[in-house]
Amino acid sequence: MPSPRVRFNKNYRLIKNEYMILGNIFNGLWIKCPTYVYEFLNNWIEKEYTVSNMLDECMDVDTKEYLSNMIKTLVGIEIIDYYDKHTPDNKAIKHVTFELTTGCKLRCSHCCVSCGEIAREDMSFELLKQLIKWCEKNGIRSIALTGGEIFIRHDIWDILNYVRANFTGSIEIMTNGTLLREKMIPDLKALVDYISISLDGYDEESVLKIRGPKVFNKVKSTIKSLQQSGLENISLSMVLTKDMITHQNKFRELCLSLGVTPIMRVFTPEGRADSNYETLSPPFKIKNKNELTEVELTSLQNAINFKCSCNLSSKIFVCCDGTIYPCFLTKNEKNRLGSTNDLLDGKLKEAEIVPIVDTIDECRDCDVRYFCATACPGHDRNIFMNEKYRSEMCDQMKPYYNMIVWK
């Protein structure tokens, strides 16, 4: 068998300093190597050398063994790919989220949409029917129905029955759990596969601060009724606000006691959440480098990752008005992929996957930029595009990552 050629993975990025850091922005894996090693490798890749050609360039056995192990490592963490093992990009949409309504009876202080303050808008049932048929025809694996609060719609049960009858993939509903009438809960088992409930606290007092009165016990009661009806795939989510970020264990303990899966979500300053930024945003403050032991430093070096994007090309978010974005948190004109007409006509644009730190003048030359971004482009947009928020984060995180990454 001929020796394969290699090339850099499309999700590979490079950071230069005294050494070189090669990382993958999707899987978060990275490696630091001497500059000369990278320059040799890059030169050989540009010349389209085979792996055998590269190894033949080595002057001694030790160097050949080092390079061979380096290539295997880089392939393993998807920095480079073998030509003959390279899988063509699969940009097919696999997951679709439908925004059924912007209406909601709660007024959560961290709501990114400001539900209750904006005019309510519902997706038409007839449009949804067309879209569900498209999903089935195009082999979509899963769909999610979200709001606002979907159970505020008077026709929600007609919608759920239609979706189940006309879509064979996985169906998830996202709800705050307060409008589910107990007598209707048994019907859900046949209609949905997963239920995601937002709670944002671990007891009555903590939930009250975010979601208002009587929510905590109502959600607990709803979960119990869902489980009694045979629904087992239930998740409970909490946004990591200033008060909640130090109580994650209490939330996990609550979820364990309820028999549900805990989901932690990052705080994103958009909508009403932006108005309440000072009250809700968790601090960027981290432990001073002088306080770290060698063991802690090693642990942190192993823990940090390079992941600063997600696979936006595999999913779409369909708004009530028919506009389409990669996901809910990327709802801005720059990320607009088209409309439902474009989708049905096969003319929807593909999502561009570019880490936000590569688009901002203050960030694009920073030698730790891919470490301080997150895997959520929507969340990062709201932080990095706001000079105040970005500066606050940078003042804390840049010295921290410089110490960990480059030491």
**pLDDT over 60 at 236, yes or no:** yes
Q: Would residue 113 be called left, alpha or beta, if left means φ above 0 and alpha means ψ between -120 and 50 degrees?
A: alpha
pLDDT of residue 92: 83
**pLDDT over 90 at 406, yes or no:** no
**pLDDT over 80 at 90, yes or no:** no
pTM: 0.84
Tens of pLDDT, residue by residue over 26-44, are 999 999 999 999 999 999 9
Residue 305 φ then ψ, to 5°: -140, 170
pLDDT of residue 285: 55
Q: Identify the three-state secondary structure at position 324.
A: strand
Q: Identify the three-state secondary structure at position 173.
A: strand
Tens of pLDDT, residue by residue over 182-196, are 888 999 999 999 999
**pLDDT over 50 at 370, yes or no:** yes
**pLDDT over 50 at 328, yes or no:** yes
Query: How far apart are alpha carbons 202 and 132 in whole angstroms?
Result: 36
Tens of pLDDT, residue by residue over 274-285, are 888 888 888 765
Q: Would residue 230 be called left, alpha or beta, if left means φ above 0 and alpha means ψ between -120 and 50 degrees?
A: left
Query: How far apart are alpha carbons 240 and 200 in whole angstroms?
Result: 8
Other CB atoms within 10 Å distance of the CB of residue 127: 16
**Beta bridge partner(s), residue 14:** 22
